[in-house]
C-alpha cells in the first residue's frame, strides 16, 4: 500500500486531487486541522478536507483520512467525533509536525517528549469515534533525539491505534537527509506481539530504488510518500511496476492544478503556487526547468493563462470567487 503524505503549505486538497489522478496512490492523509480549546464547526473540516463532500474520496476515487493536531485529549476526542460523522476514511493524529509555531503551542512533534500524553490522546479519540472508523497516528523518531521513540510507538499501539506512520527523522533533523530507516526498524521490532499494528515507513523515498531499500531496511511493507510524489507524479506507479508519467502528460495536470488554484487561492498568491510545484518538478523533468525559466518574471494570472495555452491549448476559464484561504508560498522558481 502506498500513501500520499500530508504537507502543510504544499500538498493540500488541490495537489491531492491532481496527483491521485495519475494512479498508484492507495490512500491520502490530509494536512492537519488544528484543534485547541473548542469544538470546530463542520465548515472548518470541509475547508481543509473538501473530499468530505465527495464521500471522503478525491475525484479519482482515492480515500482520504483526515488529520487532527492538538494536545488536549478531551477536545481532540470531541472534534474527532464530529469529524467522524462527516464520513472520512479514518482519522489520523499528528505527532510529527516540526513547525516551530506549532510546537510552541504544544502541537505536533513536541509531544514526542510526552508519550503518556500521546497515549491518552489516542485512547480518547479511539473511544470517541465509531469502531468502524480507523484511527491512526503519524510520529517522528523524536523531538531533539530519538531516546523515547519506542515509548511513543508503544503508547500509540497500547491506546488502540489501527495504524502507525513513522517519519524516520527527529524534529531536530527536519527534512535533511538521510532518513534513519534502520532506527525505524528498531522501533517497529520493539512492539511486542500483542501490540503489533501496521507500521508505515516515511522519509526520503524519491525513487523506485529508495522504496525497495526502505522496505528491505525497515521491514515495512507499506510506504508513505510526500515530496517524492510531488517531484515525480509517476513515482507510485513506478514503485508498483505500472509505468511512469512522462512530461507530455504533465501540461494537462498543470492546467487542472492552475484552474483549481484560481478557484481557491487569493489572486496574488496563485502564480506562487504553480511555481512552487514546478520547482519540485524540475528535479525530475528538464522541461519543468524550462517552464520555471519562462515563468520566473510573471506573477499575473493572465500571463500564466497564456503560458498554459501555449503548453496545452486553451485553458479552461477561471473565475474570481472569494478565496477560501491564501496559500503559503514556501518555495518558488
- Which are the catalytic amino acids? 97
Q: Is the peptide bond between 323 and the residue preceding it cis, with omega within 30 degrees of 0?
A: no
If we measure between CA atoms, which residue out of 35, 24, 83, 82 comes closest to residue 58? 24
Helix or strand holding residue 140 (H, E): strand 135-142
Helix or strand holding residue 280 (H, E): helix 267-281
CB 18 within 8 Å of CB 256: yes
CA distance to 29, 223, 238, per residue, from 24 (Å): 15, 12, 8
Grid cell digits, residue 262: 484560481
Helix or strand holding residue 169 (H, E): strand 163-170
CA distance to 12, 96, 106, 165, 257, per residue, from 31 (Å): 6, 12, 17, 14, 18
List the alpha helices (DSSP H) in the chain. 13-20, 42-48, 73-84, 100-104, 115-128, 149-158, 181-190, 208-218, 227-231, 235-239, 250-264, 267-281, 286-295, 301-312
Pairing state of beta strands 135-142 and 27-34? unpaired
Amino acid at each position: 500500500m502506498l500513501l500520499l503524505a500530508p504537507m502543510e503549505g504544499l500538498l493540500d486538497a488541490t495537489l491531492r486531487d491532481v496527483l491521485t489522478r495519475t494512479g498508484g496512490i492507495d490512500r491520502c492523509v490530509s494536512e492537519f486541522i488544528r484543534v485547541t480549546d473548542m469544538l470546530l464547526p463542520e465548515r472548518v473540516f470541509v475547508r481543509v478536507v473538501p473530499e468530505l463532500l465527495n464521500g471522503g474520496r478525491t475525484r479519482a476515487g482515492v480515500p482520504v483520512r483526515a488529520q487532527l493536531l492538538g494536545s488536549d485529549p478531551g477536545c481532540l476526542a470531541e472534534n474527532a467525533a464530529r469529524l467522524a460523522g462527516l464520513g472520512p476514511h479514518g482519522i489520523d493524529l499528528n505527532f510529527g509536525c516540526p513547525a516551530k509555531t506549532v510546537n510552541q503551542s504544544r502541537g505536533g512533534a513536541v509531544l514526542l517528549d510526552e508519550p503518556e500524553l500521546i497515549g491518552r490522546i489516542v485512547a480518547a479519540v479511539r473511544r470517541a469515534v465509531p469502531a468502524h472508523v480507523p484511527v491512526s497516528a503519524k510520529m517522528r523518531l523524536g523531538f531533539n533525539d530519538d531516546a523515547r521513540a519506542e515509548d511513543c510507538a508503544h503508547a500509540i499501539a497500547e491506546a488502540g491505534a489501527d495504524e502507525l506512520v513513522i517519519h524516520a527523522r527527529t524534529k531536530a533533523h527536519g527534512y535533511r537527509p538521510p532518513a534513519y530507516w534502520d532506527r525505524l526498524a528498531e522501533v517497529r521490532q520493539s512492539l511486542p506481539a500483542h501490540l503489533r499494528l501496521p507500521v508505515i515507513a516515511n522519509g526520503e523515498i524519491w525513487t523506485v530504488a529508495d522504496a525497495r531499500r526502505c522496505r528491505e531496511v525497515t521491514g515495512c511493507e507499506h510506504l508513505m510518500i510526500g515530496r517524492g510524489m510531488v517531484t515525480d507524479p509517476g513515482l507510485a506507479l513506478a514503485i508498483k511496476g505500472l509505468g511512469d508519467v512522462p512530461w507530455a502528460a504533465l501540461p494537462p495536470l498543470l492546467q487542472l492544478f492552475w484552474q483549481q488554484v484560481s478557484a481557491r487561492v487569493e489572486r496574488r498568491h496563485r502564480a506562487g503556487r504553480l511555481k512552487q510545484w514546478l520547482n519540485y518538478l524540475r528535479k525530475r523533468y528538464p522541461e519543468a526547468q524550462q517552464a520555471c525559466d519562462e515563468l520566473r518574471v510573471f506573477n499575473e494570472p493572465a500571463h500564466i493563462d497564456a503560458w498554459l495555452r501555449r503548453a496545452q491549448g486553451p485553458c479552461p476559464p477561471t473565475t474570481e470567487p472569494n478565496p477560501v484561504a491564501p496559500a503559503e508560498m514556501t518555495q518558488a522558481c
